[in-house]
Each structure stands twice: as C-alpha cells, then as structure tokens.
A and B are shown apart, each in its own frame.
Chain A
Amino acid sequence: MTAEASGAAPSTAALGDRIAGAVLALLAVAAWWHAQTFVSGFRQPVGPDLFPRLVCVPLGVLALYLMCRPGLNQRWPRGVALLRQAGLLVVLGGYAGFLESWGFLPATLVGSVLLIRLFDAAWRQALVSGVSLTVILYLLFEYALGIPLPAVPGLGV
C-alpha cells in the first residue's frame, strides 16, 4: 500500500529528498572510508572491502543527484500525528526494553493497553482488550506453540 493510496497528497516542496540525498551521500562516503579497515590475512584477488565499496560509488553518486534534483515527496506529519507516532515508538521501545526484565505478562499488559489507547480507544475498551490480548498471546505462544516467553522474575510465569 503506497502512502498515495492512503490519501496523503504529494507536496511539491521536496526538501526531504535533499536532506535524504545529503545523508545518503555522507553515508556512502563514510562506508567507503570505513571499508579500509576490512583487512584479511588471506591473499585474494578480491578482498572483503571491494563489494561494499563497489556499492558505495553508485549510491553516493545517485544520492548527490537526488540532492540536486529532488523529486516528489509525500506530506510529512505534523502536530498531533507526529506526537502519536513518537508515542508509538516510545511504547514499543519501552516494551522491547522491559520485556526481559519485567517478564512477558506485565510488559505486554502495559504495552498493549497503551498501544490500544494510542489508536484512539477509550480506557475501558483499552483495558479489557489489552488484558484479553495479553492472555491470548501468552496462551498461544507458551502452550499452543510451546515457545517459552520471558518469565516474571521470581514468579515463574
């Protein structure tokens, strides 16, 4: 599904392309430069640094071209939308971080309730469906699939 299909109109000010071009060009140069550290003891016609460098050349050239001749971009998010996206990343990042130290059940419970809230459900709906989702996932993975999930420290579940 392209962003175009979801209704966001392309905007003509393609500042994003210029920034992306600059970032990618820098990346290509840095990757090329870093490739000099790939030294192996073997004598081969082609070392481990050749292929990455070979990729960096067109990547860098095309990125520079994109910087000078940008194309169309979709509209970038602003205000509330941006906040909600940041919220999603914070919730998911936190979930990934706490999954092992808290254990699956508490981490997923908090994560799913917050997630459902982020998608505009009322607290009641979020709590009810968060709890059921957590339990279903736990039963599915732990028992139906037999995959151990991180346990709550000291409790063994």
Chain B
Amino acid sequence: MDILVFLLHGFAIALEPQNLFLALIGCAVGTLIGALPGLGPVNGVALLIPLAFNFGLSPTAALILLVSVYYGTMYGGRISSIVLNIPGDEPAMMTTLDGYPMALKGRGGEALGLSAVASFVGATVATIGLTLFAPLLVGFAIRFGPAEYFALFMLAFATIGGVTSGSFTKSFIAAGLGLLLGTVGLDPATGVSRYTFGLYELYDGIDFIAALVGLFAISECLLLLEDRRRETATNQELGSAIPGMKSARKCAPTIARGSLIGFVAGVLPGAGASLGSFLSYTLEKRWLGRKGDFGNGDPRGVAAPEAGNNAAAGGALIPMLSLGIPGSGTTAILLALLLSMNITPGPLLFEQQPDMVWGLVAALFIGNIMLLVLNVPLVGLFARVLRAPSWLLMPVVILVAFVGVYSLNNSAFDLYVMLAFGVLGYVLRKLDIPSVPVVLGLLLGGQMEFNLRRAMSISGGDWSILVSSGISIGIYAFAAALMAAGLLFAWWLKREEAGR
C-alpha cells in the first residue's frame, strides 16, 4: 500500500512540465544515440553527464534525463541491428541474428515494430519489478553496518565483469587498478595526500566524470579511427511498422519469457543488459527447439533479445538505487552522476530523498510509453539518421565531450585526465580487460575504504569483525556462489559456441 502512495507521489513529480520535457528529450536523444553504431548506453550516458551538469539541473531532474537516455539507448540499439546488421550497442548484438534477415526479406518495418513492443514490455516488467523489489531490498539493507557494507562491495567486485568477460583474472586486475586509482587524492579521514605527486589538481581525487568520458567516449573514437566501419547503406524498403504489433501478439509468450529472464539477469550484480539479451535469445532458441527458425528471420528471435535487454536494463537499476552497487557499466555511470552531486545511493536514499527515487520510477513508466510512441510510428526518422556521415559524427561527439568536461570545473587539467583515461580505456580494450570494473573501483573505492576503516575502528583493529555477522557471511557466500555460477556459465558459453 505504501508503495502505491509513494508511486502516486512520484507521478506528481514526474508529471511536472520540466521533468516531462526532460524525459521526452532524454528518450529521443537516447534512441538516437542507441541507434548510432559505436555509441551505446555506456558512452552515450557518459557523454551527456557533463551536459546535464551544465544545464544546472536538480539531481532529480538530471537523473530523470539520464535514465530516460539510458532506456532510450536500449530501444535505439535495435534500429541499426535490424537495418544495417551492425548492433547499435552491445546488448543489441543478438538482435542482428534474426532482425537483419527479416529486413532482407522486406519485413524490416515489422521487425522494428515488433522489437519496439518487445522492448516496451521488457522495460515495463522491469520497472514494475523495480517498484516492488527495490523497497524490499532497502528494508533488508537498512540493517547493514560497515562490515556488511564492506562485504557488499566485495560482492560487487567478485562478480562484476566476471560473468560476461569470461576472464576472472582480467576483471579483478581491472577492479584493482580502479580501486588504486580511487585512492589518489587527499585521504578524507586524515588529510594525508596519496599518490598526488605534488599536483594540487589531484587533491580532490581523479574527477569521475572526466575519467568516465575518457574511458568510454574517447577510447571509442580511438577505436573507430583504426577500424572505420564501411557504411552499409541499405536500400531495403523498410515497410510499415504497424504489422509488428500483430506479430507481437503472436510472440507474446516469447516476450514474456524474455522479459523475466532479462530482469533476473539485470538484477544480479555483474551481469547487465548484454547477458540479458544473450540469455533470453539462447534460452528461447533452446525452448522452441525445432519449432523455431532462428537465424533466418524468425520474429521470435527479435522479440526475445529485445525484451531481455530492456528488462535487464531496468533490473540493473535495483541494486544501484537500493544498495549503491551498480550491476552494469551504465548504472555505474549513473552512480557517478549521483556521487558527483553529493548524493549517495543506498537504503538511506529511499528515506531521505523519496521524491527523487519515486519521481524517477514514475518517470520510467512515462518514458516507456513515450519510447513506444517514438519507436513505432517515428522509427523511420531514426533509421534515416543512420545515414549521417561518420566524419561528422565522431568529431561532434569528441567536441561535446571536451567542452562539457572542461566547463565542469573550468579546468584544462581535467581534459588531460580525460585524454589519459581515453588511452587507458583503449589499451584495456585491446587487452580484453573490461573497463567497467575500473570505473567501479574508482567510484566505490572511497566508500569501501571508509566502511573498512569504520568497521576496524569499531572493533579496535580486530579483523574478525568483517565476518562476525550472519549477514556478512551470507553475502560472502552469495558472492562465492555467483562466482561459481560465472565459471559454469563461461564453460557453458564455450561449449555453446563450439556447437554453433
């Protein structure tokens, strides 16, 4: 009952003209960013953070804008998957498998319409899940002390990246590097300067946002310079998106299954949307067996991954908002936004800033409807943008990033930080070391250290406090179980790929 009251209150906030307008802008820009190959949810949202700051928005409004962008990119990613056979972003990879064959058969419009409906259902299921489960998790987490929080951070690092990248060593190295970089600056507890080497610009630590934009947007540009994708302009008639509605009804069971699988994948730490779409496609294929014609333009092969990745994107917001532990790259960036605005997500956020949390949840429901409208009748408009020349697109991205980051602190030093992280991000990608754990380390390191030191001062230096409560032991056990599941999954993936 409480939830309903809070949610109604949230709708009152989300329906304020400014917030409604921001949600609409966010949805449209997000769809656009998602559709453009090379710009996905992570680098799209990273790119817009400095702008959101510069607009001088309140935290609630900024969060509504960026989360609408986030949901929008998940919708948009499918457009270039279907039209160009190039995934607009990583979670849309699975959509190429049946989406492009459908487009080749002249059913591109239908595929776009169907996938929009599937995305809508997936995202709505996830948003309902967020409404129901986040408060439950908060009720549980409110009892956490510093030792339990420390365990929670260990859980985040034990699982992030491990599931998707397949290499635990590299994920952990990345997390370690991020944590180490996170200690740069003045130690908040004692004022001792750490690894600043006399550079006063580093006293406040490495600027999250400059680092993020570098890691994701600048490294993407470096990658593009080396491997320019040939623009495969399609002359296929897309056709109307309306028949997609009809085939969506036929695919309803697929969409329902995909949404549930995606949602679970999204809530689990360290998984995120790519896993959501991968699992829902693969399991649906397995489920239908010979009844499906997957890989040759089966509409269900479009519906499953699109429901899955959108549901996962929404699910990933649950641990970020209720525990302060992001489950994916994009939610990590949203966390960076909140931290930079001096807001620490976690159970207290729900008590202290209910307006923000519930306003955001309501904005997600509204944004979803906007996205459905934007993506069924207007999808042709977005598909046309794909023909924008890349020689213009990337410079625009870089310059917006540059001016945006510069004007955060009016500091040219931040620009150098951004460039350095751009090179780091590029090298990491070449080494197949995931960058998301680096971000997590950078973001969560401060909190993790703070909780460790608080726990230690409570116990007077006795390490056993870290494992003295049932909750923390439970969290460590859960982390171990998830790691084992990750290993099993990596093994299964290898076998599945060998068999394909």
What is the interface of chain A, defined by CB distance below 8 A to chain B?
A: 1-3, 5-8, 10, 16-17, 20, 24, 27-28, 31, 34-35, 38-42, 44-48, 50-52, 55-56, 58-59, 62-63, 65-66, 69, 71-74, 76-77, 81-82, 84-85, 88-89, 92-93, 95-97, 99-100, 108, 111-112, 115-116, 118-121, 125, 129, 133, 137, 141, 145, 147, 149
List of 10 A-B pairs having minimum Cβ-Cβ separation, nearest first? A45-B461, A59-B176, A40-B190, A96-B415, A81-B226, A121-B391, A48-B187, A119-B391, A115-B395, A51-B449
In whole angstroms, what is the CA distance A48 to B445 when docked?
Answer: 13
In whole angstroms, what is the CA distance A82 to B430 when docked?
Answer: 13
Asked whether B400 is an interface residue with its Cβ less than 8 Å from the other chain, the reply is yes
In whole angstroms, what is the CA distance A70 to B426 when docked?
Answer: 18
**Distance of A35 from chain B, by nearest CB (Å):** 8
- Could you tell me if A62 and B456 are in contact, using CB atoms closer than 8 angstroms? no
For A70, give the chain B residue with the smallest CB separation: B431
- Could you tell me if B54 and A147 are in contact, using CB atoms closer than 8 angstroms? yes
Which residues of B in the span 414-430 have a Cβ within 8 Å of any Cβ on A? 415-416, 419, 423, 426-427, 429-430
Given contact pairs A41-B190, A42-B190, A47-B190, a sample of 4 additional A-B residue pairs in the complex whose CB atoms are under 8 Å apart: A20-B427, A52-B183, A92-B218, A95-B402
- Could you tell me if A93 and B416 are in contact, using CB atoms closer than 8 angstroms? yes
Question: Which of B223, B229, B461 interacts with A3 by CB under 8 Å?
Answer: B223
Contacts of B390 in A (CB 8 A): 119
- Could you tell me if A1 and B90 are in contact, using CB atoms closer than 8 angstroms? yes
Asked whether B220 is an interface residue with its Cβ less than 8 Å from the other chain, the reply is yes
- Could you tell me if B183 and A51 are in contact, using CB atoms closer than 8 angstroms? yes
- Could you tell me if A149 and B225 are in contact, using CB atoms closer than 8 angstroms? no
Asked whether B460 is an interface residue with its Cβ less than 8 Å from the other chain, the reply is yes
Known: A116-B391, A119-B225. A96 touches B412 (CB 8 A): yes
Contacts of A120 in B (CB 8 A): 228, 391
In whole angstroms, what is the CA distance A76 to B167 when docked?
Answer: 20
Known: A55-B179, A141-B54. A72 touches B432 (CB 8 A): yes
Question: Which of B180, B192, B221, B423 interacts with A48 by CB under 8 Å?
Answer: B192
Sample of 20 A–B contacts (CB below 8 Å)? A1-B40, A5-B87, A8-B227, A16-B430, A28-B180, A31-B180, A35-B194, A44-B190, A45-B459, A46-B457, A74-B430, A81-B225, A85-B426, A99-B412, A100-B412, A118-B395, A125-B391, A141-B54, A145-B56, A147-B407
- Could you tell me if B415 and A115 are in contact, using CB atoms closer than 8 angstroms? no
Asked whether B38 is an interface residue with its Cβ less than 8 Å from the other chain, the reply is yes
Contacts of A51 in B (CB 8 A): 183, 445, 448-449, 452-453
In whole angstroms, what is the CA distance A1 to B223 when docked?
Answer: 10
- Could you tell me if B402 and A62 are in contact, using CB atoms closer than 8 angstroms? no
In whole angstroms, what is the CA distance A56 to B173 when docked?
Answer: 10
The interface centre, meaning the residue of B87, B218, B433, B461 with most chain A CB atoms within 10 A of its CB, is B433
**Distance of A85 from chain B, by nearest CB (Å):** 5
**Distance of A79 from chain B, by nearest CB (Å):** 10
- Could you tell me if B419 and A24 are in contact, using CB atoms closer than 8 angstroms? no
Contacts of B220 in A (CB 8 A): 1
Contacts of A6 in B (CB 8 A): 38, 223-224, 227, 229
In whole angstroms, what is the CA distance A87 to B206 when docked?
Answer: 25
For B414, give the chain A residue with the smallest CB separation: A96
For B456, give the chain A residue with the smallest CB separation: A46
- Could you tell me if B225 and A118 are in contact, using CB atoms closer than 8 angstroms? yes
